[in-house]
Amino acid sequence: MENESNLPITLITMDRAASCTIFTRSDGKEARFPLDPSPFEDTSVIARLDFSPAFDALLATTLSGDQVLFEMPLEGVADQLAGRLVVYLDQNQWSLLSNAASEVSKSSEADRAAARKLKEWVDQRRIILPASAGHYYETGKRFSTDKRYVLGLTILQYSRGWQMRDPLQVRRNELHDAFCYRLGRPDSMRSDPVFTLAPEALHSPTRSAGAAPPSTVQNHLDFRTKALLAASVSIDTMLDTQRVEEGPDTGWTAASQRFSDWLDGLAQDSQQKRRAIDIHLLTDLQRELAEEAAAADVSKELFGQWGFKGLVRAIGDSPAVGLFREILQSRHLNKGTTWRPNDLTDMIYLSCAAGYADLIVCEKHMRDPLQHGLKRMGRSVQVYRRLSDAVAAIEELLEAASAPVSPAQ
Task: State how far the Cα of 348 lies from the Cα of 324, in Å rounded to an integer.
Answer: 7
CA dihedral 255, 338, 264, 355 (to 10 degrees): 80
Using alpha carbons only, how large is the chain's radius of gyration in Å?
A: 23
pTM over 0.75: yes
Output the average pLDDT for the chain.
Answer: 90
Q: Is 70 helix (H, G, I), strand (E, B) or coil?
A: strand
356: Cα within 13 Å, side-chain hemisphere: 25
128: Cα within 13 Å, side-chain hemisphere: 25
DSSP letter assigned to residue 379: -
- Write down the pLDDT at residue 79: 82
Distances (CA, A) of 329 to 31, 263, 283: 61, 11, 15
Q: How many CB atoms lie within 10 A of CB 389?
A: 15
Number of H helices, E strands in the chain: 14, 12
- Write down the pLDDT at residue 211: 42
CA-angle at 70, arms to 209 and 121, nearest 5°: 120
Task: State how far the Cα of 290 lies from the Cα of 175, in Å rounded to an integer.
Answer: 10
Whether 9 contacts 23, CB under 8 Å: yes
The segments of the chain whose pLDDT lies below 50 read 1, 209-215, 217, 408-409
Phi, psi of 17 (to 5 degrees): -65, -40
Position 279, amino acid: I
- Write down the pLDDT at residue 210: 43
What DSSP assignment string belongs to 92-157? HHHHHHHHHHTT-TTS-HHHHHHHHHHHHHHHTTSEE--B-HHHHHHHHT-S-HHHHHHHHHHHHH
